[in-house]
Homo-oligomer: A and B are copies of this chain.
Amino acid sequence: MAMPQGPQVFPRNEYLRRLAAVKGEMERRELSALMVVVPANITYLTGYTAKSGYVPQGLIVALNDEEPTFITRRMDAPAAIHQMFIDRSLVIGYPEGLIANPDKDGWDALIDHLLEAGFGKANIGLEEQSLSSQTVGKFRARMPAAKIVDFGNTICWIRGIKSDLEIALMREAAAIADAGMLRAKEVIRPGVSEADAAAEIIAQLVRGTGGRHGTDAAGFTLCASPRTSTAHISWAEDHFRDGSQINIELAGVRHGYTSALMRTFSIGKPSDLLQRLHEGEAAGLEAALAVVRPGATCGEVATAFNETLGKFGFKKESRCGYAIGIDWTEPTASFKVGDPTILKPNMTFHLMLGNWIDEDLGYAISETLRVTDSGADTFSTLPREIFQI
């Protein structure tokens, strides 16, 4: 029995639309082939979410072919046949002997394919920022008559504006994030270990809510007293106490689509300082949301937040957010002073107001949102408050 194609998350025409946008950029740059290597971009163009990107693999988009070709190691080909919308004949597994092989690797298999497909003298796009200099060098050396062009972040920018189908998945992911945060509210208690709490919260994110499972476990951070000024610690070998503050960043995931959420918890009454910081941040959040609308720039959103927070006597040094979608952060637009990106309907952002001010003052609040025709639509239904335990 052959591996069956699995249930498809999106209809075929959704993928063809995405591919058409990529091909439009290829035409503009006079490229006849493009090798996509960023895992989130491969997900975007095919539906593939298996975790095989730690070894060489690439999706080859040819300008003149309707469907792309995926070349991956042999053992991952069945997952690609199962998950991708493309015809099974377009999934090619390269020999396992190319793994951990000092002489020849999976990139050679990809280059062989490009040469055999007649692209030896073509203009070819590469996502160079995600490849080592050695790998880019190998493409240039083995394809001397081809013109290798850096395709940069182009597909990430195309991903920036979501379809309604993508927005629907991000809403499902946001409901899961909410459920995770509510579970945190149930399990954070004095004497409970950080790991035991994390276990319950992460389990909820996997279990999902409302009949929709989490389809993956995303990054998770739980930074509790005395570590509230840290941003990216998973959790520590410690337990909560009376008076502990806990900053949590988590996300729900649906078929790669990620909705992130941050909230701060306090066991007992928050300190006056923390309460004042919260009030400034919450007011800043409202001010930022009030600016979000088509035509505004990302920089203006950050400025609105910063000015409001400043009135409360605080400052946030880091950016106020970033584009979000498949696999969390999209490396494109930021809510950052001076970012010229113009907001358009169905762009999605993590308005990320985590603020680690000095070595003993940090606070976390955020919203994942989409730009609507006239403003901002936040996905979470949770109150914007310090959750007091």
Contacts and interface: CB of A to CB of B under 8 A. Distances in A.
Interface in A84-138: 95-97, 99-100, 128-134, 136-137
Contact of A131 (B51, B132, B216): B132
A140 to B, nearest CB: 10
Interface stretch (A157-165, A205-213, A274-282, A370-378): A205-213
A221 interface: yes
Contact of A196 (B136, B207, B231): B207
B1 A230 contact: no
Contact of A79 (B51, B81, B231, B360): B231
A382 interface: no
A137 to B, nearest CB: 8
B134 A234 contact: no
A94 to B, nearest CB: 11
A71 to B, nearest CB: 16
Interface in A202-254: 202-204, 206-208, 213-217, 219-221, 226-227, 229-237
Interface string A301-319: 0000000000000000111
Contacts of A362: 78
Given A203-B199, A216-B234, A334-B100, A227 B82 contact: yes
A319 B100 contact: yes
B230 A78 contact: yes
Interface string A342-379: 00000000000010100110100000000000000000
Interface string A53-82: 010000000000000000001111011011
B219 A220 contact: no
A32 interface: no
Given A78-B359, A206-B202, A356-B75, A322 B100 contact: yes
A336 B100 contact: yes
A51 B221 contact: yes
How many copies of the chain does the oligomer comprise?
Answer: 2
Contacts of A196: 207, 213
A46 interface: no
A190 interface: no
B219 A237 contact: no
A7 interface: yes
A50 B217 contact: no
A3 interface: yes
A267 interface: no
Interface in A156-210: 193, 195-196, 198-200, 202-204, 206-208
Listed residue (A7, A96, A329) with the most chain B CB atoms within 10 angstroms of its CB: A96
A144 interface: no
5 contacts: A1-B359, A82-B227, A129-B132, A196-B207, A203-B203
Given A49-B233, A78-B359, 4 more contacts: A49-B234, A73-B318, A96-B317, A195-B215
Interface of A: 1-4, 6-7, 49-52, 54, 73-76, 78-79, 81-83, 95-97, 99-100, 128-134, 136-137, 193, 195-196, 198-200, 202-204, 206-208, 213-217, 219-221, 226-227, 229-237, 317-319, 322, 329, 331, 334, 336, 339, 354, 356, 359-360, 362
Q: Which 7 A-B pairs rank lowest in CB-CB distance, beginning with the nearest? A: A195-B213, A133-B133, A199-B206, A79-B230, A203-B203, A3-B359, A96-B318
